[in-house]
Structure 1
Amino acid sequence: MKAQDYRALQAGAMSERQLQDQILELAKRMGWVSYHTFDSRKSTPGFPDLVLVHPEQKRVIWRELKSEKDVTSAEQKVWLSTLLLVGEDVDVWRPRDWVSGRIEKELRGR
């Protein structure tokens, strides 16, 4: 099996919750302060899953997390596009971004 195929299998097997747990653990080790709404059922729909702040890098990033197959809702698209419109660092992260190293690279400051 090729490395690329193995990474695709890894990504496909990872749930959004597993992705979130891995990201939060890494972010904490790297000095990020994080916010995640644990029960969003009583919150405004669409707010991004993670808000990460790094005091030394002087950065705030907003990330929506999705499994490989999930899609963003209309409310999530409104939040993401509005944050982008005002110049915020906003994106969607998926398991493939974890296994490729993209998430770690972004947390390190690109």
Structure 2
Amino acid sequence: MTRCGSCQPNDPCEKHWQATVIALAKLCGWRVYHTLHSIGSEPGFPDLILLRGDEMIACELKRQGRKPSDAQEAWLAAFDRVENVSAFCWQPEHWPLIEAALGKPIIRAEAP
């Protein structure tokens, strides 16, 4: 994981934490959506929407010790009520759970 001045041991900054989750999701075959600038959008919408086949994950990413806002909790609860959709608030300490939720990386054979 890349580090910057805001990163702490075992607590990356939000930018690098998000980039790490996105990289794993893509390796595991998920299509990833992230709203770059949410100005004017409904507050609390999750950081990432992940799609793979008939599965969808809505996830809010937080640094260690940070909690989602009431609006973020409301969005996650709404997504969690939808069939085949899972909603999570992930922190770096949840890495084993994230790996389990995203599944194994897809290994593609090299072309001859």
* Same fold by TM-score greater than 0.5: yes
- Partner Cα separation in structure 2 for residue 49 and residue 24 of structure 1: 11
Q: 2:62 aligns with which of 39, 45, 66?
A: 66
Deviations 1:28-51 (A, max 9, x none): 122110000011122110101110
Q: Give the TM-score normalised by the residue count of structure 1.
A: 0.77
- Partner Cα separation in structure 1 for residue 39 and residue 66 of structure 2: 18
Asked if 1:38 is matched to 2:61, the reply is no
Higher helix share: 1
Secondary structure at the counterpart of residue 67 of structure 2 = coil
Asked if 1:106 is matched to 2:104, the reply is no
Q: 2:24 aligns with which of 18, 23, 26?
A: 26
- Report runs of 4+ in structure 1 exceeding 6 Å deviation: none
Unaligned 5+ residue runs, structure 2? Answer: 1-7, 105-112
- Partner Cα separation in structure 2 for residue 108 and residue 62 of structure 1: 15
2:76 aligned residue: 80
| RMSD of aligned Cα (Å) | 1.7
Pick 1 or 2: higher relative contact order, CA cutoff 8 A, min separation 6: 1
Secondary structure at the counterpart of residue 34 of structure 1 = strand
Identity rate, percent: 35
Alignment coverage as a number of residue pairs: 96
Q: Give the TM-score normalised by the residue count of structure 2.
A: 0.76
2:13 aligned residue: 15
Secondary structure at the counterpart of residue 42 of structure 1 = coil
- Partner Cα separation in structure 1 for residue 21 and residue 50 of structure 2: 10
